[in-house]
Structure 1
Amino acid sequence: MEPRCAVEDEKTTRCMNLLHKLGLSNMLPKRMQQRDVQVIDTLSQDVKPPKKETELSSQYLYKLMMLDYRARFLSCKPEPTTTAPESHVVSTEDDNDDFLNFSEETVQKVHIEEQHIHPMDIHMAVFHCADDFLRQYIFSKLSSCQFALPLLVSNPFTREIEFPLWALRNIKKSWQSKAQSKMDSHGKYKSRHMFNTPVPVASFIRLGESSISKSEILNNVISKQKHKVFFHRNCKGSTRDCLLMDGVVEITWYCPAGKEDDIFDDCVAFLNLHGDARDHPQQLEFMQSVSTVNVVLLSECPLDEKNKKIFKNLYTSTVPLIVLFAGQEKSLTFKNPTKVRLGAKNRNEAELNEEIISHIQHCVNTYKKNTSIKIFCDEARKHLKWMKTRNPAEMVMNKPMF
């Protein structure tokens, strides 16, 4: 128990240091308002790439207001300091040997004190500092840019799980299913409030560490243009360390156009849990309760006892299950059509995407369960402990203190 507390305390300290670097430490908790953002200043008159880390949050908000998708890929890299190698004359043969040698004696040393701030840390830092009305404004802009929205947020400062209900209430989406397209030759799109509109839900989770990016697979499934709806490790500006995204559940909706080349016939919601599912049991339980189909990326490494127990619960559930084996190259058929095994190692990307899409569509048609944001709230009441915040429209789920 004590080591767990020490880890939590260390993470909180690192997160506070992150806010200090971004110049947002005085904005916590939820002190940043919409009037602080919608101002005419030197930034709005002359936008230049950020040179200091304290400029990142304002640049992010400004680009988001302008519906500039590059807001999600902002970074400010520290200048590397290099140490020039000693000059000496070498023969061509020696030079060739040195070129292939990566030992410290022969490689030019590049010193970087620390990595730049992860773009999604900027995104989530602003979220934690924003009040409910600013969050609602930010969510509307993220939705317009076709980016995923935070649904469950693990707060590293309070160790609680937040459900930003107020920010999600006004999200609208427009689509036309194939059935509607045949009935309406004019191709009219109907705009719907997702708060009260139940749709099928496909949940993507990962068990164990993997060299394959789950979020990247998900992006390829829902976007033929490979739009980066969900940020992943191969996106511009990504680093190995991201403090504020671990345990965050994001949501997006695939909205068809009623055309033959639509990926799915009707609207489907997609949930994506960032991080290893074993470390986030409450988020996993919530996702289980609202899902129409679960898609699990299994690590290349053998599962430990805890992960085996989690997988057993997923397998024995009535919810259809699609398993992506990161360490297997072949897909194996199974007698139960709602329990699917797909190999994900060294696979042709297009073929793998088609297989995943086909199985999700089959599971959605077979297991007819639809969920809306309102139902998310009802399910969260059952599976998570709630505590009212100052805003009666938003709830916070208490996370146990270890």
Structure 2
Amino acid sequence: MRHIKKISSQTIQSNKPSELQEVPWCFIQRLMMVHSGALKLKCIESECAKKHKGQLEDEENVDDWLSDDTEDALVLNPLDVIVAVFMCSDHFVQQELVQKMSMCQIAVPFLLPNYNGSCYILQWALRTIRKKWHQTLEGNETSIIEKDIVTHPMLAVTFIRLGDLQRSKSAFLNRLLSGSQDHHNFFIHSEMEGGDVPRKISNGLVELSWYLPQEKENEGRLLEPMVVMNLRGDAKSLSTQVGFLSEVSSVIFIFVDNFGERRGESDCYSFKIQIKFLFVIEY
């Protein structure tokens, strides 16, 4: 724990990792500094890589070597980095990371996917998160509430998808949570740095963020806080996560790209999910 909290002048001056092996540690150090660019983890091209690239240019079939994958080799999907770091951390480090992610307004991991298809719940790591919001009282007056967010009862809303989508579900959630405030990327999406890199280990990850009413909200906005859960990956192949979410959610929204073509799939999921409210959104 002391090691990850140690911040030196070199840490502050460091810009970007030069190798993929440095990416997880770079992510941890930026979180400890509550750095706004904690998720910008693209590697700078090292001198060794430049030299290797120059050698390839002199060889035959250079087009086969210098493909789009060359650029992708310098960046990982931030979701994969988050899952890898949390799976390799003990409970106390996980708790510290979650707290710093919350301070950076980054969605925090709740269910971690395991290699064997099971899930790992990070409930203990979430216990230190405290949030403030405005509660509307009688006479349109407001009061400030501050609570431990995990133990405070609130509406739980889950968002999942069936199949691939032409537009980003997570980008939609960011707009939903930002509301009248300045736009913020709570959830990583495909238009962010590294967000379009194919995920290796983070399909099945469930992230949490919170909608917290503020003093000045537009008419029609919710007046009560709610927790927003976002399932990464195609729900068709994530039955364990979907089953768990159906038990803990108040509402589940299913995103589909073409409702007409996937009507049978969505009807099947409506039957499997034992929940009072369920909505299918063609997106």
When normalised by structure 2's length, the TM-score is 0.83
Please give the alpha-carbon distance, in whole angstroms, between the structure 2 residues aligned to 1:258 and 1:41.
39
Structure 2 match to 1:382 = none
Is residue 2:3 matched to residue 1:48?
Answer: no
Please give the alpha-carbon distance, in whole angstroms, between the structure 1 residues aligned to 2:131 and 2:12.
32
Structure 1 residue 36 displacement after superposition: 2.6
CA 1:77–1:47: 2 relative to 1, 3 Å = closer
Within-5 A mapping of 1:145-164? 145-156=104-115, 159-164=117-122
Q: Does structure 2 retain, via aligned residues, the 8 Å contact 1:75–1:118?
A: no
Once the two structures are superposed, what CA deviation does each residue of 1:308-350 show, in whole Å capped at 9, x if it has no partner? 4213445xx5522232113xxxxxxxxxxxxxxxxxxxxxxxx
Give the AA of the match of 1:239.
D
Structure 1 residue 241 displacement after superposition: 1.0
Is residue 2:101 matched to residue 1:142?
Answer: yes
Is residue 2:272 matched to residue 1:320?
Answer: no
Structure 2 match to 1:169 = 127
Structure 1 match to 2:137 = 179
CA 1:181–1:293: 2 relative to 1, 3 Å = farther
Within-5 A mapping of 1:1-400? 34-41=1-8, 43-44=10-11, 46-76=13-43, 81=53, 110-111=66-67, 112-113=69-70, 115=73, 116-156=75-115, 159-179=117-137, 182-184=140-142, 188-224=143-179, 225-261=182-218, 263-300=221-258, 302-303=261-262, 308-314=267-273, 319-326=276-283
Structure 2 match to 1:360 = none
When normalised by structure 1's length, the TM-score is 0.60
Structure 1 residue 304 displacement after superposition: 8.2
Once the two structures are superposed, what CA deviation does each residue of 1:272-315 show, in whole Å capped at 9, x if it has no partner? 1111111111211111122222211013272386554213445x
CA 1:54–1:41: 2 relative to 1, 3 Å = farther
Please give the alpha-carbon distance, in whole angstroms, between the structure 2 residues aligned to 1:117 and 1:46.
22
Q: Does structure 1 retain, via aligned residues, the 8 Å contact 2:118–2:240?
A: no
Give the AA of the match of 2:268.
K
Structure 1 residue 238 displacement after superposition: 2.0
Structure 1 residue 154 displacement after superposition: 0.8
Give the AA of the match of 2:247.
S
| Runs of 4+ deviating beyond 6 Å | 82-85
Q: Provide the aligned C-alpha RMSD in A.
A: 2.9
Which has the greater radius of gyration?
A: 1
Once the two structures are superposed, what CA deviation does each residue of 1:74-125 show, in whole Å capped at 9, x if it has no partner? 111656848879xxxxxxxxxxxxxxxxxx9xx9984344533222222221
Aligned-residue identity in percent: 26
Give the AA of the match of 2:185.
K
Once the two structures are superposed, what CA deviation does each residue of 1:50-92 show, in whole Å capped at 9, x if it has no partner? 111222122111111111121112111656848879xxxxxxx
What's the secondary structure of 1:251's corresponding residue? strand
